[in-house]
Amino acid sequence: MQRDDRQWRLTGFSAGLWCIIVGVGMIVFWLAEPVELAARHPEIFGMKFNAALAFTLLGGAFVAALSGYRTLPFLAALPVFVYGVIALAQHVFGVDLGIDRLLYDPFTDIGTSVPGRIAPNTALCFILISLALMRRALRGGSDIVQLVCSYAAVAIAATSLVGYLIDFDTAHDWIVHTRMSVQSATCFLALGVGILFVGARPAGYQRMAIAASLGVATYLILLTLAYLKVSAQATRLPFAIDREGISSIAGTLLDLILLSGLIYAGLVAYSYWNSRRYRESASHLSESQDRLAAIINNAVDGILTVSANGTILSANPACQRIFGHAPADVVGRPIRLLLPGRLAGGGEAAGSDHGGAASAGCFVTGGEMDGQRKDGRIFPVELSVAKVELAEGTVYTAIIRDISERKHFERQLLAANAELEEFAYRTSHDLRSPIASSIGLLNISRELLENGEYDALSGALERMERNFTRLDQLIQNIIVLTRDRLMEEEDQRFSPFDVVQNQADSLATLEEDGRVRIANHIPPELTIVSKPSKFEVIVGNLLSNAIKYHDPQEPDPRVDVRLEEHGGTIRFVVEDNGIGVPEEKRPLLFRMFKRLHPSRSFGSGLGLYIMKKSAESLGGAVRYEAKDKGSRFIVELPNGE
């Protein structure tokens, strides 16, 4: 639409320039006074000197108005308006106000009423066009007054121009011997059309309607003039019979012309209505295309169209994000560039080595596939494909979604679920185990009591007690694990020396013979920032583990605890000289419910698992190192400072 307006502005400038060229040209002709040329081609001098000057002014005024000037075009159009009014008044009132030869005395005359006098229709057009131009200059845009004035001027000029074309004098000679010249008619037409159409749309006027009605109006004016001429001719005939004959022929002719005029008007109206409808549907179409383009261009998913032989026809911007190729780079390339034809399950898709058609064939199935990025990386995509039958052949539209993240979470979820299932299975077993055992022991105890075997009874009761202690330990561990997982804990500054000391003290009371010596090498003044309860869980589990698996044969069983902090990382090391972990069992060390020492199967089997989970929830990691004798556990945690 904006391009349309620019074109009309260009037309307006051309109209103004045309008037200036014609005006200046005619002034030059008049001033040069070429007598011979005037004798041979008197029609050239149909446009009077005054008129030439007026057109130069009007042309300049229109160009200036289009260029955005206000005062200049007004001042240029005003004298033309005054001149037009005076010239018309001379015709209407039959007077000579001396304006015709005020500036220039014509050296030749084509036989006008008064030498240098312009025709009344020319004068009227000057009034109309200058009025419209003054309005345009004042308002800066189109309005109804300009529309009416220029409309009338265009109709008059067009009528006279058509009159020249069909050799019909009445069209331009409103009074005998004074006519609107061809040059003047073209200038009025140009200016009138310019004023009518430039800026018509912003002002809300339909150009098509104006043009169509102008056509009809010109036709009707010509028709009326023709009728008037025939009637006038008829009245001039000497005999009444001839007059009647001519009148009846004229009447028939007129009816025919009127009928054809009606058909013409109907056709104009129909074509106008049709073109409006076409414009509307074209604008709807372009709107819906814009909307669709906005959706496709802003879609998160990649959207491709692919021909039946597997050539990419279009790609949206999201494809660049997904595949790394710019949309322009993939258009015209085979779809295998992006989807190498390997199905997500691995292996080449059936028949994909038969060229393009087959690769499109594998592509049309949709589902989960492997995509390939520009850098060659293979990643999972989800594809949904629709087949579209068009006049020029079959195309496929594909919506492509990068599902790397979803697959990653899926794997994480599956792993977490498997761990949870394992946990449920093992806890249900390990919870029931001491109870089942106690039920058995209870039955035995009852029999022993009945038989009075009190020594054996006391042994059975001790076994039951150990069962329940084990059960209690397991439940305590599950509580720690759950709390560890659910508890939100703030970072705090604390002394790791104190934590180790407290844990060591509380373990010493539980230890059977108190042989294991715990050496706390942590500097007492050192403080770290972490989550104290989780750190406590780590320390407690590592120490109790070291005590549990001490070597009974060792003369000096000991545990050494060290902690260093540098570069924001805390390195906590617990070393013992116990029985160690056999090499083949080390991969199972941190798994839940793995008790690696058959002869010493106390404990829930959750200790190191809980320790590892606690370290991970602190953003750290834990590893095991074997020593020549015993074990070394290293926990690395970020220092929250």
Contact positions vs another protein (CB under 8 A): 425-426, 428-430, 432-437, 439-441, 443-444, 463, 466-467, 593-599, 601
Which amino acid belongs to residue 175? Answer: I
CB of 603 to another protein, least distance (A): 11
Q: Select 309 or 437, whichever has its Cβ closest to another protein.
A: 437
Angle, vertex CA 36, rays to CA 30 and CA 39, nearest 5: 85
Identity of the residue, 447 or 505, whose beta carbon is nearer to another protein in the bound complex: 447
Of 70 and 426, which has the nearer Cβ to another protein? 426
Structure token pair of residue 63 = 């160009």
Q: Are 157 and 192 in contact (CB under 8 A)?
A: yes
Min dist CB 591 to another protein, Å, is 12
> Using an 8 Å Cβ cutoff, are 255 and 188 in contact?
no
> Which residues does residue 304 pair with via DSSP β-bridges, in sequence order?
315, 398
Could you tell me the smallest distance in angstroms from the CB atom of residue 584 to another protein? 10
Question: Judged by CB, which is closer to another protein: 270, or 602?
Answer: 602
Contact (Cβ atoms closer than 8 angstroms) between residue 114 and residue 100: yes
Residue at 161: amino acid letter: L
Those residues whose C-beta lies under 8 Å from the C-beta of residue 188, and which sit 6 or more positions away, are: 122, 125, 129, 153, 154, 156, 157, 180
Nearer to another protein, 354 or 429 (CB): 429
Looking at the Cβ atoms of 430 and 575, the one nearer to another protein is: 430
Closer residue to another protein in complex, CB, 382/430: 430
Calpha distance 261→316 (Å, rounded): 55
Judge contact between 344 and 370, C-beta under 8 A. Answer: yes
Structure tokens at 124: 């009227």
SS3 105: coil
As measured in angstroms, the least distance from the Cβ of 464 to another protein is 8
Name the residue nearer to another protein (CB basis): 306 or 592.
592
Residue 420 Cβ vs another protein, minimum distance, rounded to whole Å: 14
The nearer residue to another protein, 341 or 607, going by C-beta atoms, is 607
How far is it, in rounded angstroms, from Cα 455 to Cα 51? Answer: 144
Q: What is each CA distance from 7 to 59, 152, 203, 208, in whole angstroms?
A: 18, 24, 17, 15
Taking the complex as a whole, how short is the minimal distance between the CB of residue 449 and another protein, in angstroms?
14
Minimum Å gap between C-beta 578 and another protein is 16
Q: Distance (Å, rounded) from C-alpha 557 to C-alpha 352?
A: 68
Structure-token pair, residue 468: 């329940």
DSSP 138: H
Q: Are 76 and 58 in contact (CB under 8 A)?
A: yes
Could you give the count of Cα atoms lying within 13 Å of 43 in the half-sphere of its Cβ? 4
Nearest Cα to 212, choosing from 254, 274, 283? 274
Cβ pair 261, 223 in contact under 8 A:
yes
Residue 557 CB, shortest distance to another protein, in Å, is 22
Shortest CB 434 distance to another protein, Å: 8
Taking the complex as a whole, the smallest distance from the CB of residue 317 to another protein amounts, in Å, to: 51
Q: Which is nearer to another protein, 444 or 529 (CB)?
A: 444
Q: Which is nearer to another protein, 14 or 443 (CB)?
A: 443
Task: Kindly state the tokens that stand for 141.
Answer: 């845009």
- Read off the tokens for 162: 């058509």
Taking the complex as a whole, the smallest distance from the CB of residue 522 to another protein amounts, in Å, to: 33
For another protein, the closer CB: 432 or 493: 432
Beta bridge partners of 558: 517
Half-sphere exposure of 99 toward its Cβ, with a 13 Å CA cutoff?
21
Minimum separation from the CB atom of position 456 to another protein (A):
9
3-state secondary structure 491-536: CEEECHHHHHHHHHHHHHHHCCCCCCEEEECCCCCCCEEECHHHHH
Rounded to an integer, what distance in angstroms lies between the CA atom of residue 181 and that of residue 457?
Answer: 141
